[in-house]
């Protein structure tokens, strides 16, 4: 038994020695290339099997017509069909509304809550747990509860509305735009996000803030206290310190959360699916992911769906690159 | 040499990844291509959607079948609601692994056929040893059997009727009584009139709407119309527009409200005496009886209102079964179960226990059915519709059209689309969908 334990303990050293002897066999003029290849090979194998292969599969599928991926090669036909489809653009619009409606609000709320939590000294752990709790709750389970809260007949939100003297609302069943409802019909019902979409956004803001709060708290903790104290000694008030010291030093955190948040928002699925029973009966809550999902699973247009998902991937990559190019410049890393 | 080998290895790895990526699907193209692998080799898996008491009855019947029949046992597995079953089967077709059989609607089977997954049941039906005799075939209700022949695929039978149901009007007698009404409406005008009276008497909507394409189809049928001619939809016909207008009126006058999709809030409201009417399948009979606490004086069921009660029509739905093109052993077990399940005795037992209709004419003469009819006059209502009920389209692409219908109805109910415009856009969208599906 002891001998076996000794053998296991010596295993890493023996593997390293084996690796060294293997690398020594390569000519020196090859430099670090053999080592780089060998060391990245396990990761490349896993990525190749589970990421690159499906990506290549999806790309080849997107060039085929018909259903279930067994149609003829049609080149970029599916891409052109998607660009000509009104439903594709409408679901993209819903996605953009969703991204614009959730990410800035989540960043703002999370920052404010993190700031308060950072400053308080009592029960900080309790409140951190409290705010993080929605994030660790299953989206589907939480969405089921929120669906009952949004129920137009007997739901808690309508009971609260009645309590404050406001007429009951249709919430998740309301396809008319928020602007239309808020302006009493002055704005066309199809302009802006619908009330149902706003309900989905509200749910995701509630659910997703916990993660951002934790990251913000980590960022705030890493700001040296003496920098803020020096600013105060120099006569800077709370708001000026926040604007000129805290926020610039927190910019890497904000940038990271912004990039990750936008990518996630473009890929949002669970909340939409669970709250609206698969995208709802109307187009106003069908984002691009749900549109792709229905084209793929419900209607069997695998080529078309993978073409749309390829375009979504390209859009996310382009947007992330733009964020790096324009917002990344304003980030202060020290 | 070592360096060369290393680069060759990397090149081979990359090529393997690319080739794997370029690989086609494991399924076959033609309708009767190579077999799919069975999901379970020790039993014939049946993907179903039934839960509650109906699901329990199905499991009991499967156990009974297994005890009496040699060969592979039938294993009933819950696979979600119909859309879930469809998605699950679609994904399994791509994976090349399928259960022995699944519940399916005609529009679902129409999507399975081109992949080679659905088995041509004529081969089994005509088998001299295990098939059905002409007398037995004639005993099936034509309305139940006929929709399982697919005109787009040579008129072959790719699914088989398992149990049928009919869209019915469920009404609450207590709520009707509050408005001084004693009988449910026979025509659509009477329906609106009764809704108005109930609203005036109770101050509440009289009807809860579960937005559904089959309900829409039934309403069009009941007004003497149809939803399709060949591969062209008829959603801009006077009958279809009348249905859309009917929904718009219900909302505009506050006579009805829409329930959350995928829920049974309408049945619950009926059970709580909150509404007077809901439209649901005849298979909801047992659930509503439970909600009504077995009090038959509180409620009733009747055929849906008609434009002309002398020439009635409604929709016949209810699940079929699709047997998959797997191993001979699996196919034989699945067919044996289907044949047994649709035998006069079992289909009658299933009908009595669930509210579904039997698929065999002779089942109506069985003691169980006669007892059911004698127990309560409403138990007969769905069976009386069998003569004039008809199935829905079974063409490729109808699955997507159904979603378009639901979307249009939701827009009309929300007041974001006028009925005439909604009908025109629905027809345009549905025809495009069918044309796209036809292109394959």
Mean pLDDT of B192-206: 97
Topology of domain B165-316+392-439 in CATH is: D-Maltodextrin-Binding Protein; domain 2 (3.40.190)
Give the range of the structural domain holding residue A42, as residue numbers without chain letter: 25-61
The pLDDT score that the predictor gives to residue B1 is 44
A288 is a domain residue: yes
| A168/A44 same-domain check | no
Which residues, given as ranges, of chain A have pLDDT below 70? Answer: 1, 334
- 3 state SS of B149: strand
| A39/A129 same-domain check | no
Q: Is the model's pLDDT at B19 over the cut of 50?
A: no
| A155/A190 same-domain check | yes
Tell me the pairing of strands B149-150 and B74-78: unpaired
- Residues in chain A closer than 8 A to B211 (CB atoms): 281
The pLDDT score that the predictor gives to residue B33 is 54
pLDDT, one tens digit per residue, over B230-277 is: 999 999 999 999 999 999 999 999 999 999 988 899 999 999 999 999
For chain B, percent of residues with pLDDT exceeding 70:
92
Nearest to B260 among A30, A69, A151 (CB): A151
| A36/A119 same-domain check | no
pLDDT, one tens digit per residue, over B395-409 is: 989 989 999 999 999
| Nearest by Cα to A210 from A136, A131, A139 | A131
Domain locations along chain B: 37-164+318-365, 165-316+392-439
- Residues in chain B closer than 8 A to A278 (CB atoms): 83, 262
A68 is a domain residue: no
| A231/A270 same-domain check | yes
- 3 state SS of B164: strand
Q: Is the model's pLDDT at B160 over the cut of 80?
A: yes
| Nearest by Cα to B172 from B246, B268, B258 | B268
CB contact under 8 A, B416 and A189: yes
d(CA B191, CA B193): 5
CATH class of B37-164+318-365: alpha beta
Single out the residue in A34, A61, A88 at which a domain terminates: A61
Query: By the 8 A CB rule, do B282 and B383 touch?
Result: no
| A282/A208 same-domain check | yes
Query: By the 8 A CB rule, do B218 and B200 touch?
Result: no
| Nearest by Cα to B320 from B150, B437, B434 | B150
The pLDDT score that the predictor gives to residue A29 is 84
How many domains does chain A fold into?
A: 2
A70 is a domain residue: no
Residues in a beta bridge with B316: B166
For chain A, percent of residues with pLDDT exceeding 70:
99
A71 is a domain residue: no
Please give the distance of CA B335 from its chain centroid, rounded to a whole number. Answer: 20
A4 is a domain residue: no
Nearest to B25 among A34, A65, A68 (CB): A68
DSSP assignments along B35-52, one per residue: PPEES-SSSEEEEE---H
Mean pLDDT of B62-77: 96
B261–chain A Cβ distance below 8 A for any pair = yes
Mean pLDDT of B117-136: 95
CB contact under 8 A, A170 and B414: yes
Single out the residue in A33, A61, A89 at which a domain terminates: A61
| A128/A202 same-domain check | yes
The pLDDT score that the predictor gives to residue A73 is 95
Plot region of A259 (φ>0 → left; ψ -120 to 50 → alpha; else → beta): alpha
B24–chain A Cβ distance below 8 A for any pair = yes
The pLDDT score that the predictor gives to residue A311 is 97
pLDDT, one tens digit per residue, over A76-125 is: 999 999 999 999 999 999 999 999 999 999 999 999 999 999 998 888 88
Residues in a beta bridge with A151: none
The pLDDT score that the predictor gives to residue A1 is 56
| A134/A281 same-domain check | yes
Q: Is B178 exposed, middle or buried (0-12, 13-18, 19+ CB in 10 A)?
A: middle
Q: Is the model's pLDDT at B15 over the cut of 50?
A: no
| A86/A32 same-domain check | no
A30 is a domain residue: yes
Q: What is the CATH number of the domain that holds A145?
A: 1.10.3720.10
| A29/A164 same-domain check | no
What are the C-alpha distances in Å from B316 to residues B142, B323, B382?
A: 11, 21, 10
Closest Cα of chain A to B2: distance in Å? Answer: 7
Q: Is the model's pLDDT at B310 over the cut of 80?
A: yes
In the block, tokens 């709802």 appear at A280
- Residues in chain A closer than 8 A to B115 (CB atoms): 68, 70
Mean pLDDT of B424-436: 96
- 3 state SS of A271: helix
A239 is a domain residue: yes
Residues 24-43 of A with CB under 8 A from B: 25-27, 30, 34, 37
A69 is a domain residue: no
């Amino acid at each position: 038994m002891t001998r076996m334990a000794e053998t296991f303990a010596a295993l890493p050293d023996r593997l390293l020695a084996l690796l060294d002897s293997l690398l020594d066999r390569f000519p020196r003029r090859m430099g670090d290339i053999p080592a780089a290849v060998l060391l990245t090979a396990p990761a490349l194998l896993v990525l190749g099997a589970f990421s690159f292969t499906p990506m290549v599969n999806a790309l080849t599928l997107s060039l085929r017509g018909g259903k279930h991926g067994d149609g003829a090669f049609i080149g970029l036909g599916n891409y052109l069909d998607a660009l000509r489809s009104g439903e594709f653009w409408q679901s993209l619009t819903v996605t953009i509304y969703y991204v614009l409606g959730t990410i800035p609000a989540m960043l703002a709320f999370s920052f404010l809550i993190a700031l308060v939590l950072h400053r308080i000294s009592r029960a900080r752990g309790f409140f951190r747990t409290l705010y993080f709790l929605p994030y660790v709750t299953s989206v589907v389970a939480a969405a089921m509860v929120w669906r009952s809260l949004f129920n137009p007949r007997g739901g808690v939100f309508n009971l609260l509305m009645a309590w404050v003297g406001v007429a009951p609302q249709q919430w998740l069943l309301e396809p008319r735009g928020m602007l239309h409802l808020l302006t009493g019909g002055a704005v066309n019902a199809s302009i802006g996000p619908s009330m149902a979409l706003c309900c989905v956004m509200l749910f995701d803001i509630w659910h997703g803030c916990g993660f951002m709060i934790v990251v913000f708290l980590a960022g705030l903790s890493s700001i040296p206290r003496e920098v803020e104290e020096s600013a105060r000694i120099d006569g800077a008030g709370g708001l000026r310190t926040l604007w000129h010291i805290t926020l610039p030093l927190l910019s890497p955190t904000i940038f990271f959360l912004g990039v990750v948040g936008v990518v996630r928002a473009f890929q949002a699925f669970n909340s939409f699916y669970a709250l609206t029973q698969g995208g709802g009966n109307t187009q106003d809550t069908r984002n691009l992911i749900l549109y792709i999902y229905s084209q793929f699973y419900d209607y069997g247009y695998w080529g078309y769906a993978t073409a749309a998902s390829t375009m979504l991937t390209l859009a996310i990559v382009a947007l992330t690159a733009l964020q790096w190019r324009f917002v990344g410049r304003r980030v202060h890393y020290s | 040499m070592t360096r060369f080998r290393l680069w060759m290895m990397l090149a081979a790895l990359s090529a393997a990844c690319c080739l794997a990526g370029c690989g086609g699907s494991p399924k076959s193209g033609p309708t009767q291509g190579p077999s799919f692998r069975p999901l379970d080799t020790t039993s014939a898996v049946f993907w179903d959607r039934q839960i509650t008491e109906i699901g329990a009855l199905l499991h009991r019947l499967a156990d009974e079948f297994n005890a009496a029949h040699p060969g592979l046992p039938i294993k009933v597995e819950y696979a979600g609601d119909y859309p879930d079953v469809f998605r699950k089967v679609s994904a399994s077709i791509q994976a090349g692994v399928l259960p022995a059989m699944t519940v399916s609607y005609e529009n679902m089977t129409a999507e399975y056929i081109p992949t080679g997954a659905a088995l041509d049941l004529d081969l089994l039906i005509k088998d001299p040893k295990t098939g059905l005799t002409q007398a037995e075939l004639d005993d099936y209700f034509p309305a139940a059997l006929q929709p399982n022949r697919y005109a787009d695929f040579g008129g072959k039978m790719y699914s088989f009727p398992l149990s049928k149901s009919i869209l019915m009007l469920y009404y609450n007698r207590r709520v009707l009584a509050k408005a001084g009404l004693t009988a449910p409406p026979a025509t659509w005008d009477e329906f609106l009139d009764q809704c108005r009276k109930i609203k005036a008497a109770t101050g509440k909507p009289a009807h809860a709407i579960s937005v559904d394409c089959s309900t829409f189809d039934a309403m069009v049928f009941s007004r003497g119309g149809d939803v399709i001619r060949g591969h062209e939809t008829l959603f801009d016909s006077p009958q279809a527009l009348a249905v859309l207008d009917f929904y718009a009126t219900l909302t505009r006058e506050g006579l009805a409200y829409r329930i959350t999709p995928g829920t049974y809030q309408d049945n619950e409201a009926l059970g709580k005496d909150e509404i007077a009417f809901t439209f649901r399948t005849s298979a909801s009979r047992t659930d509503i009886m439970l909600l009504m606490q077995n009090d038959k004086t509180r409620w009733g069921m009747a055929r849906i209102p008609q434009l002309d009660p002398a020439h009635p029509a409604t929709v016949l739905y209810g699940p079929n079964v699709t047997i998959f093109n797997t191993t001979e052993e699996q196919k034989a077990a699945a067919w044996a179960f289907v044949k047994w399940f649709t035998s006069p005795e079992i289909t009658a037992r299933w009908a009595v226990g669930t509210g579904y209709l039997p698929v065999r004419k002779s089942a109506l003469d069985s003691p169980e059915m006669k007892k059911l009819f004698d127990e309560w006059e409403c138990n007969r209502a769905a069976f009386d519709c069998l003569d004039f009920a008809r199935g829905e389209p079974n063409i490729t692409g109808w699955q997507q059209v159904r979603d378009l219908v639901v979307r249009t109805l939701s827009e009309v109910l929300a007041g974001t689309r006028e009925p005439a415009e909604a009908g025109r856009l629905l027809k345009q969208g549905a025809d495009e969908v069918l044309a796209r599906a036809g292109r394959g």
